[in-house]
Chain A
Amino acid sequence: MDSRKYGVILCQSNIEQKVSKRTMNLIQIAWRNFCHRSLSSILTTLSLALGVGLVVLVLSIYGVINEAFTRNASVGYNLVVGPKGSPLQLTLNSVFYLSQPIENLPYTEYMEFLSEAERSEMVDRFGGDEELKQRGGRYAPFIGDGFVIPLALGDYFGEFRVVGTTPLFFEKLRHGPTLEQTFTFSSGRAFQDFSEEHSYFEAVVGSRVAKEMNVGVGDQFFPTHGDPTGHGHDLGFTIVGVMDPTGTPNDRAAFVNLEGFYLMDGHAKPIEETTADDSEKTPQGKLSPDLEPKVAKRDDYRLLSIPEREVTSLLVRTGNIMFAPSMQNAINEGIRSQAAAPVGEINKLMGLIVGPLKNAMLMITLITCVVAAVGILVSIYNSMNDRKRDIAVMRALGARRSTVTTIIIYESLLVATIGAIVGWILAHAGITAYSGTIEDQTGVQVGFFTTSGNEVWILPLVILLALIAALLPAWSAYRTDVGSNLSA
């Protein structure tokens, strides 16, 4: 019954205002009728508000999802290279750290993106086929002053993906709305390829990983293999940095030095043929544990040779953005790998799955609005019997048929307009209330006045619905017989 009181108060505040005006317009008259049946009016309005609120919510959530995906799909690189297969899966794996793990690429494929000098250095450092030194990588010319960052995926820290990569990852990648922000650290620093303190076993964790796994700089973790519940490796990585929140999937990943990653059990690719000089090298992994020195030395561990190495994917930025399509073609024509443009893949995904899903949700919520509109119809139509006399009185006072009809239509429009505005406010208040969580999880900033483009259609649509709903009662008002309703 509160609502009734509320309606009355609202309406009474109108009296003074009305007295001062010279005419009572039809909207005011409709408003008084709205107030007179305040409980029914408010309930009808509320049901419409809920429908509108749901539509706005669906549109906003879709907007957030869309922006989150598209924004994250461009983190400063323009191509993802991985084994042949589904480009979408490659994108989901390498950009979003989602989906089933994919096959790996031989390390030599990575080297195809490097210059002759870089390749020579690698062969000298890790050991491998001398012929690799003889030429530059096939795709190296496209890279220019861009970059290639290798990723090795497949391990987990808790439920979070462990990403084996190089320090280049933190040096080259950018994020933020304009892709200008470098990764920053709430504590610590990026990992190094080799440090005297932790040897090859440094790690950096994303903000959410730090929060949810309750770890910080100085803590050690042991990646598990294959899936979140898989068995652990005995080699631990020491966290040397915790990243600031970026609103990208990187918040949900733990980054480890690729070299250390290779040294973990089962990460070496078995090779059929061992080379002669292998015999003098220690087996892969740690030397005897009791000899572990306080200060690590570079030759405490034998790094994997090139044939033993694999990468899951490569994040590639061509020096000149114009080169990207021809490079993508060149890679896709090869036998080993494929190149995917993450933004394109995500747009396809949105168009293929999320878009139709949004449309389905929109349909459902629009039906809610239609139901609410039927509610308006029923509510006004039900009141028509009580109002026949009122209409007849107005007619006797000189109101035309069209005037009493217009009043009924205005009443429906009032419900529609108030319902649409209240619904919009409710939805946006709800979104604003959760804006912190939304930003934490997606990096998308939403405020009260963040609107998706389609929201402008809501009010006209609701008004159209209300007009349709008003037709029947309006017709009934139009046809109300004055004589018989006055002499009752």
Chain B
Amino acid sequence: MKVMLQITNLVKSFPQPEGGSIKVLDVPNLQVNEGEHVALIGQSGGGKTTLLHLIAGLLTPDEGSIQINGIELTKLSEQGRDRFRAGTIGYVFQTFNLLPAFTALENVRLGMTFGSGVAESERAIDLLERVGLGDRAHYRPRQLSVGQQQRVAIARAMAGKPRILLADEPTANVDPKSAETVLELIRETCAEEKVAILMVTHDLQIASQFERVDQLDEINQAVERSR
């Protein structure tokens, strides 16, 4: 198995409003293999979102290295990280994933525009059909339920043909039944396209469906010291 994501001695602190700074993450080692589906469980405020932002190159670490597909993220410029993210990473957020001014289809195509730069409608429609929203292609986000919005977000995350999908509590704001669907869709589409998944959640029930479940608190050395 080839390693897709390799994190080594990653440290991230945030400045505090009252002065000083607090170390949120200190991860000596985290690996995700190609096509592997990993669920990472952590309590609220445990640094899950921060970790995903670092992997996506939206934040820069204070120390350590993040290698994705053999590329050292910390050595890239901001523009380089933008380009890298567009080509390699798919992202699904907890809520408010979609751009309200655009239809479902356009949201998916936006993912492609910023990603590969080619926004083929055929693939966009195909992805929407795969998440069961072929008939909602021209709906605006506000005309869709939260669960449906998350499904569009999955289609959009897949649109740029990523190598790894980062999912930040994708089911947290969705009713249990939709959560099931959303989760299935993520796993299915990623399996079809051989995309690795790193999903963070605080929900044990959700995490348990993944073949590999890690505890962030065990990986993250900053936890004990910060609390």
Contacts and interface: CB of A to CB of B under 8 A. Distances in A.
A486 B102 contact: no
A398 B160 contact: yes
Interface in A19-67: 19-24, 29, 32-33, 35-36
Contact of A398 (B85, B98, B99): B85
A395 B91 CA distance: 11
A19 B106 CA distance: 8
Given A24-B109, A403-B114, A483 B53 contact: yes
A394 B93 contact: no
Interface in A459-488: 482-483, 486-487
Contacts of B85: 396, 398
Interface in A263-283: none
Interface in B17-59: 49-50, 53, 56, 58-59
Contacts of A32: 101-102, 106
B99 A486 contact: no
A29 B53 CA distance: 25
Contact of A23 (B53, B98, B118, B138): B118
Contact of B96 (A33, A35, A389, A483): A389
Contact of B113 (A24, A482, A487): A24
Interface in B72-129: 78-79, 82-83, 85-87, 91, 93, 96-103, 105-106, 109-111, 113-115, 117-121
Contacts of A486: 49, 53, 58, 93
Given A394-B110, A483-B59, A19 B105 contact: yes
B172 to A, nearest CB: 13
Given A395-B58, A398-B160, A23 B113 contact: yes
A380 to B, nearest CB: 14
Interface residues of A, number: 29
Nearest to A393: B99
Nearest to B124: A19
A389 B119 CA distance: 22
A395 B79 CA distance: 11
A295 interface: no
Contact of B87 (A18, A394, A398): A398
B156 interface: yes
Contacts of B87: 398
B82 A395 contact: yes
Contact of B101 (A23, A33, A399, A403): A33
Given A18-B106, A22-B120, A36-B100, A398 B78 contact: no
Contacts, number: 91
B53 A35 contact: no
Interface string A308-344: 0000000000000000000000000000000000000
Contacts of A35: 101
A36 B140 CA distance: 10
A33 B96 CA distance: 17
B32 to A, nearest CB: 19
Contacts of B56: 396
Contacts of B93: 393, 396, 486
Contacts of B119: 21-24
B50 to A, nearest CB: 8
A483 B14 CA distance: 12
Nearest to A14: B106
Contacts of A1: none
Interface string A384-411: 0000011001111111110100000000
A29 B111 CA distance: 12
A291 interface: no
Most chain-B Cβ atoms within 10 A of its Cβ — which of A15, A36, A390, A487?
A: A487
Contacts of A36: 100-101
B58 A397 contact: no
A400 B57 CA distance: 12
A18 B56 CA distance: 29
B71 to A, nearest CB: 15
B109 A394 contact: no
Contacts of B103: 15
Nearest to B93: A486
A399 B114 contact: yes
B59 A398 contact: no
B168 to A, nearest CB: 8
A216 B97 CA distance: 80
Contacts of A397: 86, 91, 110-111, 114-115, 156, 160
B117 A23 contact: yes
Contacts of A398: 82-83, 85-87, 114-115, 160
27 contacts: A15-B105, A15-B138, A18-B106, A21-B119, A23-B118, A24-B110, A24-B119, A29-B110, A32-B101, A32-B106, A35-B101, A389-B96, A395-B58, A395-B82, A396-B85, A397-B91, A397-B115, A399-B82, A399-B86, A399-B114, A403-B114, A482-B53, A482-B58, A483-B50, A486-B49, A486-B53, A487-B53
Interface of B: 49-50, 53, 56, 58-59, 78-79, 82-83, 85-87, 91, 93, 96-103, 105-106, 109-111, 113-115, 117-121, 138, 156, 160
Given A15-B105, A394-B114, 16 more contacts: A15-B103, A22-B120, A22-B121, A24-B110, A24-B119, A29-B102, A32-B106, A35-B101, A393-B97, A396-B56, A396-B91, A397-B115, A398-B82, A400-B79, A400-B82, A487-B53
